[in-house]
Chain A
Amino acid sequence: MVQDMALLVQYVVVGLAVGSLYALVALGIVLLYRTSRILNFAHGDLATFGTFIAFALLTAWRWPFAAASLGSLLTTAVVGAAFFFLVIRPAKESTLLGKIVITLGLALVLQGATVILWGTGTKILPFPLSDIKVYRLGQVVVSQISVGSFAVGLALMGALYVLVQHTRVGLAMRAVSQDTVAAQVLGIPVKQIFALTWGLASALGAAAGILLAPATLLDPYMMLDPFLKGFAAAVLGGIDSMPGAAVGGLLLGVLEALFGGYVSVKFKTTLAFLIIIAVLVVRPEGLLGREYKRRV
């Protein structure tokens, strides 16, 4: 009985650790979607690109980890914002679907660039925390790296929350997301806000990539699965809701771990997609989203 309980807790712990990273990915997707209604299919590849930047800064340039991470986030943010200015904005006449297709193109370009610059081989991102060092709480085992990435993930979510809810920039972002024309009339620099959102979302992706790399190893395709899971988490939580993305990510992580543990590890990957279907059928706005109610 005690053992069963410990096992359950262990699955939940494992699920939370990976779920916090899904949440980070989901937040990047949601942040951009709320503001611009664009579903960014390049999010995963932006994240991978950012992680490789961190890898280059750490190994070739020998920067300390914190500096390299910061450098990576900034570079990825600049790439994201530049993409907005150079491609998305000039294509403003295109439909929403057209813009989404453009992000698919960006995904291919970024993946190609990553392969050309760093090759297709699997690499190890030097990480300051150990994944072999573990803490034991009774029969439940948690690795140092899981605790660390969970904490950093939560901290980043908290920081984003403060930024969006309690700063003038955040207010402007929310205003733009609710009504772009009205925001423009009120003197909000909409163009800059869009660019900032692209940058911020991209940086969030890079952060998720850096935190995921020790768990997934680093190669140009590392974000394929986490991106899909992040997307599922965003749909689950409500693709219009930032708290929803966070909750959705954590919930998906835990559900996946429990499903793998108690139902079928073979169909664990399928679960995320079943969840997307179920949510869209039963509650299309997601757990915490309000989108459809408001607009009807």
Chain B
Amino acid sequence: MRLARIGVILSLLVLAATATVAQPQERGVTDTEIVIGSSQPLSGPAAFWGQGVGGGMDAYLKVINDQGGINGRKIRLILRDDGYLPPRAVANVRELVERERVFAIVSLIGSANTFAVRDYVIENQLLWITPTADANMWAGFKDKKYLFVAYPGYVDEGRILTVYGARQMGAKSVAVFYQNDLYGQKGLVGVKRGVAEARIKLATAVSYEVTDRDVSAHALKLRQSGADTVILYALPTAGALIVREMAKIGYTPKLLSSFTLADPIMFQLAGEAWNGVTLTAFFPVPGTDAKVDAMLETLIKTNPQLRASPFNALAGVAFLEPFVEALRRTGPNVTKDGVVRAFESLRNWDGEVIRGVTFGANRRQGINRIYIVRSEGGQYKKLTDWIEYPVGF
């Protein structure tokens, strides 16, 4: 009995010793690689976002790794599919953290999904780079030391979009078609603020569920409101469907949309009806910037399938770029706190895709500006210069 106890203690000691020997570095970091993870909707109703963003991140890292990685380490991305379902996102992130032991979580599409994993990630003090979710949710949220967000908030965006519609396009009465979850609801809050600021009317707000495929009654409801402008906070499929349904019943208001629908796939999904839609952009859209176009070409060369979703693929790059730069600045000795310091040193930093990224000791909101574009014949035309909004966190 006593011998057994000594045996157990001895083996525990040996285990502890090997554990410390095997882990001289941060978790997820070895001499040859840095492991990062992400959960994306690779299937399900938002698959178009997940496939584009996930594919873009993967292709971008392939290019970086082929060039020798960063300070001698390759970056390995573990991508998990959550089907746009918050519970699956939670399970994925737990698996990435507890089993795969990733160094950082990058992106994670969906405001509802991000909200679902938020406490877990923050409590575990994980590096989290640009959750692809309403950035306004972080304002006032504590313990953000390891969080870095270079993504707009839908409240800011909705406000700016609405005010632009009112002042530049003569919108007098707007209706909102929004997803009945955190994404759409935050967009709606933004539109309401814009409506108040521009002193116009909010005619109606019509929501849909993620699983809805029949939006004919929604279209009638929008038409019935008599709004001259409709603002979209929707999935690509739902956005395309509502635009088609409105056309079907002969209702053709001015259309405004979040940049979440900026991918040119919308011209295919919604057809003719997608011409003349006014959207926002948080990085230069393809066709308006040489560096962005060059990056897109590189991505497509690496993975030809990304040709089908150029904007989303580039967004994937935009989510990673500040992280890659921070790793570069960190140098060969990669620690979590070292990366945090490197992030905090970014001042108005331009990547190939994302521009003007600034973080600081008390600043975790990396970008605070968007601009307005309009869709024309399968392309997006730039309408304004950058429009800034206040830094919230």
Contact = CB atoms under 8 A, between A and B. Distances in A.
Given A132-B247, A265-B207, A266-B180, A120 B47 contact: yes
A122 B217 contact: no
Contacts of A169: none
B218 A265 contact: yes
B48 A121 contact: yes
Interface residues of B, number: 39
A174 to B, nearest CB: 33
B185 to A, nearest CB: 12
B289 interface: no
B265 A120 contact: no
A216 B249 contact: no
B248 A143 contact: yes
A220 B43 contact: yes
Contact of A219 (B218, B237, B250, B309): B237
Given A115-B43, A121-B308, A132-B271, A7 B224 contact: yes
Contact of B217 (A11, A225, A226): A11
Contact of B249 (A121, A124, A141, A261): A141
Interface in B253-269: 265, 268-269
Given A124-B268, A216-B213, 8 more contacts: A120-B42, A121-B47, A145-B248, A221-B45, A224-B213, A226-B213, A256-B217, A265-B206
Which 6 pairs from chain A and chain B are nearest by CB?
A: A260-B217, A120-B47, A216-B213, A143-B248, A225-B213, A14-B216
A220 B43 CA distance: 9
Contacts of A136: 250
Nearest to A214: B244
A94 B43 CA distance: 32
A122 B214 contact: no
B328 interface: no
Interface string A14-58: 110110000000000000000000000000000000000000000
Interface of A: 7, 10-11, 14-15, 17-18, 115, 119-122, 124, 131-132, 134, 136, 141, 143, 145-146, 212, 215-217, 219-222, 224-226, 229, 256-257, 260-261, 265-266, 268-269
A120 B312 CA distance: 15
A18 B216 contact: yes
25 contacts: A14-B249, A15-B217, A18-B214, A120-B43, A121-B51, A121-B309, A122-B48, A132-B244, A215-B213, A215-B216, A216-B214, A219-B47, A219-B237, A221-B44, A221-B45, A224-B211, A224-B213, A225-B213, A225-B214, A257-B220, A260-B218, A260-B220, A261-B221, A265-B208, A269-B209
B119 interface: no
B207 A266 contact: yes
